Amino acid sequence: MKIFDHLDQISEPLKNAVITIGNFDGVHIGHQALFHEVTEKAEAIGGTSCAMTFEPHPLRVLKQNNHPPLITLYEQKLELIERSGIEVLICVPFTQAFAGLAAGEFIEDVLVRKIGMKAIVVGEDYSFGKKREGNIDFLNSYAPRCDFEVIVANWIKASKHFPDRISSTKIRELVIAGNMEQAQKMLGRFYQIRGQVVSGRNRGGKLLGFPTANINLHDELCPKTGIYAVTVEHHDRKYSGVANIGYSPTFDDHEFTIEVHILDFEDDIYGEKIRVNFHKRIREEIKFDNISELSEQIKKDVKAAREILAL
Q: What are the residues binding ligand RBF (CB under 6 A)?
A: 200-201, 203-204, 208, 210, 212, 227, 242, 244, 248-251, 259, 261, 285-286, 288, 294, 297-298, 301
Which of residues 12 and 252 has its CB atom nearest to ligand RBF in the complex?
252
Phi (first) and psi of residue 32, to 5 degrees? -60, -35
228 binds, among ligand RBF, Mg ion, none (CB under 5 to 8 A by kind): none
* Residues 227, 245: Cα–Cα separation, whole Å: 6
* Minimum separation from the CB atom of position 173 to ligand RBF (A): 24
Q: 3-class DSSP state for residue 206? A: helix
Which of residues 103 and 298 has its CB atom nearest to ligand RBF in the complex?
298
167 binds, among ligand RBF, Mg ion, none (CB under 5 to 8 A by kind): none
* Residues 236, 198: Cα–Cα separation, whole Å: 20
* Minimum separation from the CB atom of position 249 to ligand RBF (A): 5
Residue type, 287: K
- If one asks whether residue 214 binds Mg ion (CB under 5 A), the answer comes out as yes
- If one asks whether residue 241 binds Mg ion (CB under 5 A), the answer comes out as no
Q: Which stretch binds Mg ion (CB under 5 A): 126-134, 180-188, 209-217, 234-242?
A: 209-217
Which of residues 73 and 230 has its CB atom nearest to ligand RBF in the complex?
230
- Say if CB 178 and CB 172 are below 8 A apart: no
Q: Which stretch binds Mg ion (CB under 5 A): 101-109, 144-152, 157-165, 214-222?
A: 214-222
- Say if CB 76 and CB 219 are below 8 A apart: no
* Residues 68, 55: Cα–Cα separation, whole Å: 14
* Minimum separation from the CB atom of position 210 to ligand RBF (A): 5
Evaluate the CA torsion angle 271, 307, 305, 182 in order and state its sign.
Answer: positive
- Say if CB 170 and CB 32 are below 8 A apart: no
* H helix or E strand, kind and range, residue 149: strand 149-153
* Minimum separation from the CB atom of position 284 to ligand RBF (A): 7
* Residues 32, 185: Cα–Cα separation, whole Å: 13
* Residue list 172-201, contact with Mg ion (CB under 5 A): 200
Interface positions with Mg ion (CB under 5 A): 200, 204, 212, 214, 259
